[in-house]
Amino acid sequence: MLRSAFHAAMNDLAFIAEARRQHLEIAEVDGARVAKIVAGAYALPPDIVKAATEAMNEAATRSE
């Protein structure tokens, strides 16, 4: 159900028009691909996850 709703949103003409107005690129990724990406992220070694988390936190702090 969620995958169908997401697909419908990605193809909604009003959504697409608003994205274009904001100069955003829309590129739908299917559910199977997202599941593969998430599984890969969970399979990363803890030291890589920690380094990525620290980098994202540092970047967020700089943008505030």
pLDDT digits (tens, 9 = 90+) for 24-46: 999 999 888 999 999 999 999 99
Q: For residue 51, name the pLDDT band (cuts at 50, 70, 90).
A: very high
Q: Which of 23, 31, 26 is nearest to 4 (CA)?
A: 31
d(CA 29, CA 62): 30
What pLDDT score was predicted for residue 11?
A: 93
Q: Is the pTM of this model over 0.85?
A: no
